[in-house]
Amino acid sequence: MKRLKQLHLARNTITSLSALALLTIGILPAVIASDTAIAATVTSRSVSMSASAPGASATYTIQWTPASTTGIAQVNVAFCSNSPIVSDTTCTAPTGFSITASPTASESGGLAPGSGCSWTASSLDTNSVLQLAYSGSGCTTLTQSTSTADTISLSSVTNPTTTCSTYGACTFYARIYTYSTATTYSAGSLTNVVDDGGVAMSTATEITLNATVQEELSFCVWSDSPTSNTCGASNTVTIGHTVGASTVLDDTAVDTAPFDFELGTNASHGATVSVLGDTLTNGSYTIPADTTDAQICAGQTSGGNFGLWVSTLPSGMTVSSGYTATTTTPCQEYNLGSTATTTSEVVSTSAPINNATGTITYGATAQPTTVPGDYTANNQLIATGTF
């Protein structure tokens, strides 16, 4: 009985080993066949888009580092909506995606063609697959290096138009294949493939920012002698020269009073600065204004004896006619084209300007027959922007 039991166990063991051997023999061909079809996976692979909005026109920069040094004769990049798996036999073109029928592509890095060689670009599968074919006299393949990245710049690509309504809704993929010889492309086929790899990409809803910029105009005037340098400070000054203990205006000199101004505006058509005001007045007596841009000289008995000129022209501005002075010592051109009710343009700009500073200088002299008394002139500088 004991011998029969041992024989029974021995037979079971032989049967089990035979079954295991048959199973192993059945598996080996499949493993070997699969190994011969698997290409090496490229590393550091990416597709950079110059614009990410759905439907936008963009340039795609496709880059990878080869995993093999085998020479290549063809590159295909397939764009799919369903999967980045290179062996997937279904590659559904992303909705709205398009490569131009005659693609413009440039190759660099490890894909830079040799002398007399070139890559020819074409699009396949309703313009969803880029194909590059290597050609030229004696140019059959291009040697690859595992330390040099391959780069393709593909322009005039239209992004997928899928609405990014949920997370992942705008994801799509690129499958990269390099071939050892010219090969008819078929989705998922790895025939003659040297290296391959998948990349995920995504469009994104365009960000729209709205902003409102208000119309702005800032203007300030201050006395330059004495200097106040303060917007809104009192600009009341006495024009004249010292005689004894007094400051007087007489016929022996042309006295001056400079005023600085600063202008800034974002008006698209620029701005003007005008003067509004009349001449020096004492009741019914006046010191006549120079309204013809003429010389004012000490002691003159005819013509105007009061006016202004632009002594420092602001950067970016133009002086208006009549306010550019010509000096003929001891005389100076002045002008006052305004009245108490009528403005006269002094300087202007035709475009926005940022805090431009200038100086206007008033000048006055009395005639020998000017009636004594206190004379006053109230003038305003008015800035007007044209938006």
pLDDT digits (tens, 9 = 90+) for 188-231: 999 999 999 999 999 999 888 999 999 999 999 999 887 766 77
pLDDT score of 241 more than 90: yes
Q: What is the pLDDT of residue 305?
A: 93
Residues 57 and 155: beta-carbon distance below 8 Å: no
pLDDT surpassing 90 at residue 120: yes
pLDDT of residue 229: 66
- Least Cα distance to 183 among 68, 100, 76 occurs for 76
Q: Is 17 exposed, middle or buried (0-12, 13-18, 19+ CB in 10 A)?
A: exposed
pLDDT digits (tens, 9 = 90+) for 263-300: 999 999 999 999 999 999 999 999 999 988 888 999 88
Closest CA to 350 of 385, 313, 311: 385
Q: Where are the domains of the chain?
A: 40-202, 217-385
Give the model's confidence band at 28: pLDDT under 50 very low, under 70 low, under 90 confident, else very high. very low
Q: State the burial class of residue 294 (Cβ atoms within 10 Å of its Cβ: 0-12, 13-18, 19+).
A: middle
pLDDT confidence of residue 135: 96
> Using an 8 Å Cβ cutoff, are 75 and 120 in contact?
no
Q: How confident is the model at residue 18 (pLDDT cuts 50, 70, 90)?
A: very low
pLDDT-derived band of residue 38, with 50, 70 and 90 as boundaries? Answer: low
Give the SS3 label for residue 167: coil
Rounded to an integer, what distance in angstroms lies between the CA atom of residue 116 and that of residue 238?
A: 86
Question: Span 111-129, mean pLDDT?
Answer: 96
Q: What is the pLDDT of residue 5?
A: 43
pLDDT tens sequence across 129-145: 999 999 998 899 999 99
| Mean pLDDT of the 29-54 span | 74
- Answer for the pair 332, 362: CB distance below 8 angstroms, yes or no: no
Domain 40-202 has CATH 2.40.50: no
| Per-residue model confidence as pLDDT tens digits over 306-346 | 999 999 999 999 999 989 877 777 788 999 999 999 999 99
The CB-side HSE value for 316 (13 A sphere, CA atoms) comes to 17
Structural tokens at position 216: 């702005």
**322 φψ region: left (φ > 0), alpha (ψ -120 to 50), beta (else):** left
Between CA 175 and CA 187 the distance in angstroms is: 9
What's the predicted TM-score (pTM) here?
Answer: 0.63
